[in-house]
């Protein structure tokens, strides 16, 4: 793992002001509402309500995915960029949207390879829910720094210590209060900003009004009594006293290492606590981090432009059959029209129509810096895991492809359309939406996914985007393992196990079986071979 640095003084100012992060949460905790307030304070939208409206517009546009509408899940992830001024600093925030549904964990994992930090939103009444926990585990794999936002404090919520305890216990991470709530539910008046010694008072009458902020000289300041009812003030003093004794202090390094999370309390719908959280991201959040790559790491301060594809989205607009590769810039200053080398194919690519995703719309990216996410429209050359450089043969690592947990046979409703089906499946495989295996023996394809819902998504997309009705049927196999090793050993193995061998969409050899026993047997009988459940995307 690479060391995480904070505001490295030698970084160009444009890079040092960038904060690239994702929001993770359980559905309904308030991610959309919080995103909307972020954009509102970032000046990217004028009115609350636009993100949702945009979400609906997007859904209408992607009507081909009836399911997305029916189930209210968001299948399309995107990135949004906006500026945020805080004190003397002006930050550029890049917010990468994570798909919330548990069926898209692989996609989510890869999305999280493109960010430097994550905001974990929890519902103050519900605490750490299942999806939060799962997403947190993914962040932990990458030691991402986490900022926590405890939302819906305007409603009846749990006791503050109980919430903090739950996070510490369930997620095994230290928690330090960045703010402390005063009163609960109807009695909730606001928060004490622990990091800045301020009192933030929520305005219940106007949901879009940002909290009144009052500078306080410690807990004995008589000004407190002017704003907080006496019984709540006593409680606040008592609780903060206890918090001081029981909870760790904010420690910037522990936060960057991912072992300590600061928690803010607020109410996104009431615009409360959001600005403080944004200030926190700006002030403490990591600058663009080094990227692990082969044969060497990429530093954000390097002059040459390097970036990698972490997501490919096809047919965003069914009318145009366009494909957008989402690229996280790992270093340098990119300008529109720049020629970059596509490392996998060693071919030059002129990037003439890169897009930046601003809240209201996409627009051409005239320039971008390390930390930014740009979208590159292309015709399928760019795949997940691909690296772009100014010529150097360097490959970004750490973007895995997981062995699918569910396998099914896929057949075209019309057997004459097998070639069409192959094309459609290959495209989804490149997009990272599924694994496609072509068995050595027999016809048809085996499609592998991580979550069951993806079969339905695929079937409906193939039908809508390619006019091809398809059937998914149970496969005789339940596990897939990539095979690697010395050529002679691989050949011998393949010859002896023909009925179990497929090739994936990159042409790599895969062993398919339904028995763990089989996998153990191969490992015993062919000690030179490695059977692997993940494959680096390359």
392-to-270, 334, 371, 486 alpha-carbon distances in Å: 49, 16, 19, 28
270 annotated as a binding-site residue: no
Q: Which is nearer to ligand G4P, 31 or 435 (CB)?
A: 31
Angle, in degrees to the nearest 10, between helices 160-171 and 230-246: 30
127 annotated as a binding-site residue: no
Q: Which is nearer to ligand G4P, 153 or 340 (CB)?
A: 153
Q: Which is nearer to ligand G4P, 112 or 374 (CB)?
A: 112
26 annotated as a binding-site residue: yes
What lies within 8 Å, CB to CB, of 56 at 6+ separation is: none
Q: Which is nearer to ligand G4P, 25 or 475 (CB)?
A: 25
Q: How many CA atoms lie within 13 A of 378 on its CB side?
A: 24
Determine which helix (DSSP H) or strand (DSSP E) holds 246, and give its type and residue range: helix 230-246
206 annotated as a binding-site residue: no
Closest contact distance (angstroms) between CB of 154 and ligand G4P is 5
Closest contact distance (angstroms) between CB of 120 and ligand G4P is 12
Contact by Cβ (8 Å): 424, 413 = no
Q: Which is nearer to ligand G4P, 80 or 305 (CB)?
A: 80
How many angstroms separate the CA atoms of 329 and 309, rounded?
9
* Binding footprint of ligand G4P on the chain (CB under 6 A): 25, 27-33, 151-152, 154-155, 267-270
389 annotated as a binding-site residue: no
Closest contact distance (angstroms) between CB of 35 and ligand G4P is 8
275 annotated as a binding-site residue: no
How many angstroms separate the CA atoms of 527 and 227, rounded?
72
151 annotated as a binding-site residue: yes
Q: 358 has which bridge partners? A: 81
152 annotated as a binding-site residue: yes
Q: 88 has which bridge partners? A: none
98 annotated as a binding-site residue: yes
How many angstroms separate the CA atoms of 257 and 289, rounded?
12
Q: Which is nearer to ligand G4P, 51 or 370 (CB)?
A: 51
Q: 80 has which bridge partners? A: 95
Closest contact distance (angstroms) between CB of 414 and ligand G4P is 39
Per 3-state DSSP, the chain is made up of helix, strand and coil in percentages (nearest 5) of: 30, 30, 40
Closest contact distance (angstroms) between CB of 49 and ligand G4P is 9
Closest contact distance (angstroms) between CB of 145 and ligand G4P is 21
User: The tokens of 534 are what?
Assistant: 């993940």
Instruction: Label residues 213-246 b or e (16+ Cβ within 10 Å = b).
Output: ebebeeeeeeebeebbeeebbebbeebeeebeee
Q: Which is nearer to ligand G4P, 208 or 352 (CB)?
A: 208
Contact by Cβ (8 Å): 343, 388 = yes
Q: Which is nearer to ligand G4P, 202 or 424 (CB)?
A: 202
333 annotated as a binding-site residue: no
Instruction: Label residues 26-42 b or e (16+ Cβ within 10 Å = b).
Output: beebbbbbbbbbbbbbb
Q: How many residues does the chain have?
A: 538
Q: Which is nearer to ligand G4P, 47 or 488 (CB)?
A: 47
386 annotated as a binding-site residue: no
How many angstroms separate the CA atoms of 367 and 354, rounded?
9
How many angstroms separate the CA atoms of 321 and 395, rounded?
28
Closest contact distance (angstroms) between CB of 34 and ligand G4P is 7
Contact by Cβ (8 Å): 224, 235 = no
Contact by Cβ (8 Å): 263, 151 = no
502 annotated as a binding-site residue: no
Closest contact distance (angstroms) between CB of 110 and ligand G4P is 21
83 annotated as a binding-site residue: no
How many angstroms separate the CA atoms of 113 and 5, rounded?
17
Closest contact distance (angstroms) between CB of 216 and ligand G4P is 24
Q: Which is nearer to ligand G4P, 138 or 309 (CB)?
A: 138
Q: Which is nearer to ligand G4P, 269 or 382 (CB)?
A: 269
231 annotated as a binding-site residue: no
* Longest Cα–Cα distance in the chain: 84
* Pairing, β 306-314 against β 323-331: antiparallel
Closest contact distance (angstroms) between CB of 74 and ligand G4P is 9
How many angstroms separate the CA atoms of 320 and 150, rounded?
41
- Residues annotated within the binding site for GTP are 25-32, 97-101, 151-154
User: Which residues belong to the annotated binding site?
Assistant: 25-32, 97-101, 151-154
């Amino acid at each position: 793992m690479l060391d995480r640095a904070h505001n490295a003084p030698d970084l160009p100012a444009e890079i040092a002001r960038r904060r690239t992060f994702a929001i993770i949460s359980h559905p309904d905790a308030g991610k959309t509402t919080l995103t909307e307030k972020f954009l509102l304070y970032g000046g990217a939208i004028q009115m609350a309500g636009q993100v949702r409206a945009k979400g609906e517009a997007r859904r209408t546009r992607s009507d081909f995915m009836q399911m997305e509408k029916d189930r209210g899940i968001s299948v399309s992830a995107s990135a949004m960029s906006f500026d945020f001024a805080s004190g003397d600093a002006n930050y550029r925030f890049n917010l990468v949207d994570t798909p919330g549904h548990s069926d898209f964990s692989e996609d989510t994992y890869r999305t999280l390879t493109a960010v430097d930090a994550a905001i974990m939103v929890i519902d103050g009444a519900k605490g750490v829910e299942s999806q939060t926990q799962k997403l947190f585990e993914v962040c932990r794999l990458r030691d991402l720094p986490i900022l926590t936002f405890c939302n819906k404090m305007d409603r009846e919520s749990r006791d503050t210590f109980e919430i903090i305890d739950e996070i510490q216990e369930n997620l095994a991470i230290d928690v330090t209060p960045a703010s402390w709530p005063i009163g609960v539910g109807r009695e909730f008046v606001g928060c004490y900003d622990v990091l800045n010694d301020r009192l933030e008072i929520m305005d219940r009458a106007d949901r879009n009004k940002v909290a009144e902020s009052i500078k306080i000289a410690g807990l004995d300041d008589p000004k407190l009594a002017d704003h907080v009812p006496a019984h709540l003030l006593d409680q606040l003093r008592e609780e903060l006293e206890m918090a001081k004794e029981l909870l760790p202090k904010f420690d910037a390094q522990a936060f960057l290492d991912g072992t300590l999370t600061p928690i803010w309390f607020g109410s996104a719908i009431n615009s409360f606590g959001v600005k403080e959280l944004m200030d926190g991201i700006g002030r403490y959040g990591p600058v663009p981090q080094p990227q692990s790559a082969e044969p060497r790491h990429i530093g954000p301060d390097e002059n040459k432009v390097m970036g990698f594809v972490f997501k490919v989205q096809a047919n965003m607009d069914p009318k145009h059959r366009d494909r957008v590769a989402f690229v996280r810039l790992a270093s340098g200053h990119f300008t529109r029209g720049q020629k970059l080398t596509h490392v996998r194919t060693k071919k030059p690519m002129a990037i003439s129509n890169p897009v930046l995703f601003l809240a209201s719309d996409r627009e051409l990216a005239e320039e971008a810096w390390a930390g930014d996410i740009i979208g590159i429209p292309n015709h399928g050359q760019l795949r997940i895991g691909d690296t772009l450089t100014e010529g150097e043969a360097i490959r970004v690592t750490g973007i895995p492809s997981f062995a699918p947990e569910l396998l099914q046979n896929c057949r075209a409703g019309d057997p004459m359309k097998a070639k069409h089906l192959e094309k459609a499946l290959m495209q989804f495989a490149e997009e990272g939406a599924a694994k496609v295996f072509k068995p050595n023996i027999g016809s048809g394809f085996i499609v592998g996914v991580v979550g069951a819902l993806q079969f339905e998504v695929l079937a409906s997309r193939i039908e809508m985007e390619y006019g091809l009705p398809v059937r998914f049927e149970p496969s005789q196999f339940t596990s897939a393992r990539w095979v690697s090793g010395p050529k002679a050993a691989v050949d011998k193995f393949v010859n002896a196990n023909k009925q179990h061998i497929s090739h994936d969409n990159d042409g790599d050899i895969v062993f398919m079986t339904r028995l763990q026993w089989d996998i153990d047997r191969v490992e015993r009988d062919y000690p030179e071979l490695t059977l692997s459940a993940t494959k680096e995307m390359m």
